[in-house]
Amino acid sequence: MEDHEPAPQNATAPPAHDVAAGSLSPAREVHSCSTCGQGAGEMVPPYVYALGRIEPRMPSLGVEKEFAQATGRAETTDVTDRQALHAVLTEPQNRYLARQLCYVLTIQGLDTYLLRPRDPGDFAFLVEALHDAPRLTDLHIVIGLRGPLAPPDQCNGLMLPVVDFDQIYAFNARSLVQSLPKPDDLDEEKFRATAEELFERVIQMADNAGAADEHRAVNYLAVRYPAIYAKCAEAHASGAALTAIETRPSRLSGVRRITDVIFSFTNRKTDVTEKFFVRVDVEEEFPHLTSKLSPYYDR
């Protein structure tokens, strides 16, 4: 299956993969050329394709007090603190407050990046991505360029790398799994359970901050390539288990950086392992597929 851009929807819609109507719902898509004008031999920009949760933070006491005053003027009866925050931020007269907040991407519960839109007009899409009633299964994909550490005065002493993002997807993990196209020969309930397990395994891979080429490739596949879920479900149905997800530079890498993502399935009775792989081009900010899922043979 080739990679296609998802149909634009609002920022909080659940992702629907390329083959399923309603794939990932981009909060904003900004076309840019981050490598244009680079001379030969210059360092490739540090791209980020990260999965985590965006959380708002108050950068200073002054901003916190200003928010408190704006909240007092808003209609916030019988709502949660997060709903009140969202209500304040979505009021047209409070757009200046959206620019004052810190937006932190947490990955596996750890503060990992401070987010900043490359286009200042995209603060509104950050607000949409926050959602007024977040759930534990809510996730965000952030695609952009990693910069230096933020100065201590930027976010109340929180010194994290700043990511200037071009695109944000907001989705719910359960909705993602439900949107996957089920192969005709597989049981519905078993397929969904397998898909959910695989997704959880991918996002819990150690040290995945979405900055290394191999992590960007895996994160991309987790949300944009349903075939890996179907293959995992087929393996389970035949008595095999997913035992490893490996990445390595492709032998086809040359002018462009291409990563092989290898999935190993081991039969529970015979202990025989079969491997399948996908090639992902990670040369630019937006990864894309260069070959479909195929058998892999060690050389």
Q: Read off the pTM.
A: 0.78
Q: Which of 120, 125, 121, 117 is nearest to 143 (CA)?
A: 117
Q: What is the pLDDT along the chain (299 residues), one digit of tens a residue?
A: 444 444 333 343 334 343 333 334 444 333 344 444 444 445 666 999 999 999 999 999 999 999 888 888 877 677 788 888 888 888 888 888 888 999 999 998 899 999 999 988 888 888 888 876 667 778 899 999 999 999 998 998 899 999 999 999 888 878 888 888 888 877 888 888 888 888 887 777 645 889 999 999 999 998 899 889 888 888 888 899 888 899 999 988 788 999 999 999 999 999 999 999 999 999 999 999 999 999 998 87
Ramachandran sector of residue 271 (left: φ over 0; alpha: ψ -120 to 50; beta: rest): left
Q: Which two tokens stand for residue 217?
A: 């490739």
Token pair 């092989």: residue: 260
241 in helix, strand or coil? strand
129 within 8 A of 27, measured Cβ to Cβ? yes
Angle at which helices 81-89 and 61-73 pack, to 10 degrees? 90
